[in-house]
């Protein structure tokens, strides 16, 4: 079908009017079976409105999209209650405001800021790519990916892809921050909440025998937190704060 554009609010009554005009134009109302819709209440009202006009359409013809329900469940698990409010805040925020909003969303928000920050600069992308190649040659990365992924906002499947890629490249990301020299905050925003204080590990990679850097950083200084745009209270559990 090619229904006309919806004018006015997306209420159930307005949606029903648009669908009704298309059903009448093509004369296919007797052939209608089921309506696959998301969980918005306006869709419930829409089906009730259509059921009053067409005897072949009943309330039971309204189906709910399992994918949409799964999306709502996973988004709540990732971001907690108030996902709609978070989406609304991000929609009207400036770049600096978006950075601060995401920074409050646990590790997912901080990882999002890091991936955005990396991909905004050709120089940073190339620098990270160098460390990815280095980590791959040393054997600490099994699959070769040349860049981090940025999630598409609140869509849970893109968040999953971002986290999965970051975990696979975590050794290269460690190397990036080990050698990163911060020279100012600027418009691109402060460095995402990643530590810059590293301790060398005594462990070696079995494949290369080379000394490696730890997967987790175990200490931070107050300056590291300031540069990283974090507060000392945000230090992960088990990390030691040194003056």
Mean pLDDT, residues 40-51 = 92
Task: Check residue 236 and give its pLDDT.
Answer: 47
Question: Is 1 inside any structural domain?
Answer: no
Residues 200 and 131 in one domain: yes
Question: Is 4 inside any structural domain?
Answer: no
Helix or strand holding residue 62 (H, E): strand 62-64
Residues 145 and 97 in one domain: yes
Q: In the predicted model, is pLDDT for residue 215 greater than 70?
A: no
Mean pLDDT, residues 120-135 = 92
Sign of the Cα pseudo-torsion (134, 135, 137, 138, in order) = positive
Question: Is 3 inside any structural domain?
Answer: no
Residues 30 and 137 in one domain: no
Q: In the predicted model, is pLDDT for residue 224 greater than 80?
A: no
Structure tokens at 216: 């987790």
Task: Check residue 67 and give its pLDDT.
Answer: 80
Q: What is the pLDDT of residues 54-80, one digit of tens each?
A: 998 998 989 988 887 888 888 888 887
- Look over the chain and give the mean of its residue pLDDT values, rounded to a whole number: 76
Task: Check residue 3 and give its pLDDT.
Answer: 77
Question: Residue 101 is part of which domain span?
Answer: 72-241
| pLDDT category of residue 195 using cuts at 50, 70 and 90 | very low
Residues 174 and 83 in one domain: yes
Question: Is 6 inside any structural domain?
Answer: no
Residues 58 and 94 in one domain: no
Question: Is 95 inside any structural domain?
Answer: yes
d(CA 17, CA 19): 6
Question: Is 2 inside any structural domain?
Answer: no
Q: For the chain, what is the total number of helices (H) and then of strands (E)?
A: 10, 4
| pLDDT category of residue 219 using cuts at 50, 70 and 90 | very low
Question: Is 124 inside any structural domain?
Answer: yes
Is 209 in contact with 181 (CB distance < 8 Å)?
A: no
Residues 138 and 177 in one domain: yes
Question: Is 145 inside any structural domain?
Answer: yes
Number of domains in the chain: 2
Residues 30 and 78 in one domain: no
> Got the DSSP string for 135-204?
HHHHTS-SS---S-----TT-HHHHHHHHHHHHHTHHHHHHHHHH-------TT-SPPS--------S-B
């Amino acid at each position: 079908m090619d229904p006309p554009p919806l004018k006015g609010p997306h209420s159930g009554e307005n949606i029903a009017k648009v669908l009704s005009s298309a059903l009448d134009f093509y004369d296919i109302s007797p052939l209608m079976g089921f309506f696959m819709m998301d969980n918005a209440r306006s869709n419930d009202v829409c089906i009730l409105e259509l059921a009053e006009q067409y005897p072949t359409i009943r309330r039971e013809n309204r189906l709910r999209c399992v994918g949409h329900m799964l999306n709502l469940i996973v988004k709540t698990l990732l971001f907690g209650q108030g996902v709609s409010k978070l989406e609304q805040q991000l929609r009207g925020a400036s770049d600096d405001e978006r950075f601060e909003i995401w920074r409050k969303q646990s590790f997912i928000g901080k990882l999002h800021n890091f991936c955005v920050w990396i991909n905004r600069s050709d120089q940073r992308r190339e620098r990270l790519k160098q460390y990815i190649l280095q980590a791959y040659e040393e054997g600490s990365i099994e699959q070769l990916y040349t860049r981090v992924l940025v999630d598409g906002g609140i869509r849970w499947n893109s968040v999953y892809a971002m986290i999965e890629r970051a975990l696979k490249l975590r050794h290269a990301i460690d190397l990036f921050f080990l050698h990163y020299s911060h020279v100012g905050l600027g418009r691109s925003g402060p460095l995402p909440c990643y530590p810059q204080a590293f301790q060398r590990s005594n462990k070696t990679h079995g494949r290369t025998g080379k000394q490696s850097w730890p997967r987790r950083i175990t200490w931070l200084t107050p300056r590291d937190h300031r540069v990283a745009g974090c507060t000392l209270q945000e230090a992960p559990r088990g990390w030691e704060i040194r003056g």
